[in-house]
Amino acid sequence: MKHLFVLIILVIFSNTMDSQNMRPLTEQEKRVILEKGTEAPFTGKFYKHEEKGTYICRQCGNPLYNSTSKFDAGCGWPSFDEEIPGAVTRKRDADGMRTEIVCSKCGGHLGHVFIGEKFTAKNTRHCVNSISMEFIPQKKESAIFAGGCFWGVEHLLRQLPGVISVESGYTGGLISNPTYEEVCSGTSGHAEAVEVIYDASRISYEKLTKYFFEIHDPTQVNRQGPDIGTQYRSEIFYTTPEQKIIAQALVEKLRAKGFKVATTITKAGKFYPAEKYHQDYYLRKGTQPYCHSYTKRF
């Protein structure tokens, strides 16, 4: 009985916490989100919405769709051909024919999903009520990292949700517009680095930097695996004072764990994009990095 009582208390506490995180709804929003109603076609505020960013659940704030998956199906409601992984749950509709979609976090009604209409290559249409969503505009920021051969760093960082683009290049050296040969000679002072453009509304600089520390070995000096030379050093080039503080704090956390971190933290200077044949290297080759892999350190 004692264990049952504790379990009941925990369930009540959990439900209370969940309800506290829910946002208050208008009567019209309740009709759609809670009572599974449908807004009139061509009336929703997001039907013709084309701004870059993330669509979130109106009721609980759970990220649902990226603007990159939105398209115009001409149906009168916002359409998406892909949800953010794990954000949307499919259920058999009460009519026994259609497939309802709800927020995976709070269960709020979103709309319906249709397969096989061939509007896009993904052959999927999430037909969503605008009233079930809110929108967070994309907030572009940049980060610059050096951690060995830029091919591997670029390839792995690109896979993070929230990363918009990653470009290989050179920075931290003495000359302008260096070539690959000049950087490899060790005389230019540049590091092979990547510039990451990311959506700060979806991924934080701290999370991005943590991942950087986990896809290369930050204890190696002027090398990464078989690649040796100052151009392969581990270095973070901060673009704001806040980035500097975050990077320094993460280095201290690693040192507290016993890692002899060699990563230096430097104010960012001019970033020079590398030659075209260095961009998207592993993506074009269809292979995996030879000297970069993920190792959990935090």
* Residue 188 belongs to domain with CATH number: 3.30.1060.10
Beta strand 264-267 pairing with 163-171? unpaired
pLDDT band at 6 (very low <50, low <70, confident <90, very high): very low
Any domain includes 2: no
Give the rounded distance of the alpha carbon of 44 from its chain centre: 27
Q: What's the rounded mean pLDDT across residues 289-295?
A: 94
Identify whether residues 154 and 86 lie together within a single domain. no
Any domain includes 1: no
Select from 78, 104, 137 the last residue of a domain: 137
Please report, for residues 61, 92, 176, 257, 289, the alpha-carbon distance to residue 149 in angstroms, rounded to integers and kept in the order given: 39, 49, 20, 26, 9
Identify whether residues 125 and 206 lie together within a single domain. no
More confident residue, 3 or 41: 41
Any domain includes 156: yes
Structure tokens at 43: 């009336």
* Residue ranges making up the domain that contains 101: 26-137
Any domain includes 128: yes
Identify whether residues 167 and 273 lie together within a single domain. yes
Select from 71, 105, 137 the last residue of a domain: 137
Percent of the chain as helix, strand, coil, to the nearest 5: 30, 25, 45
Q: Give me the active site residues, please.
A: 127, 149
* Residue 120 belongs to domain with CATH number: 2.170.150.20
The beta strands (E) that lie in 16-67 are given as 53-57, 63-66
Beta strand 227-228 pairing with 223-224? antiparallel
Give the rounded distance of the alpha carbon of 41 from its chain centre: 31
For residue range 130-144, list pLDDT tens digits in order. Answer: 999 999 999 999 999
Any domain includes 10: no
Identify whether residues 102 and 132 lie together within a single domain. yes
DSSP string, 138-202: --EEEEEEEES-HHHHHHHHTTSTTEEEEEEEEESSSSSS--HHHHHTT-S--EEEEEEEEETTT
Any domain includes 32: yes
For residue range 214-263, list pLDDT tens digits in order. Answer: 999 999 999 999 999 999 999 999 999 999 999 999 999 999 999 999 99
For residue range 23-68, list pLDDT tens digits in order. Answer: 899 999 999 999 999 999 999 999 999 999 999 999 999 999 999 9
Place of tokens 């690109």: 158
Identify whether residues 99 and 187 lie together within a single domain. no
pTM, to two decimals: 0.78
- Nearest alpha carbon to residue 109 among 86, 126, 85: 126
Alpha carbon distance 287, 276 (integer Å): 18
Select from 80, 114, 137 the last residue of a domain: 137
Identify whether residues 35 and 54 lie together within a single domain. yes
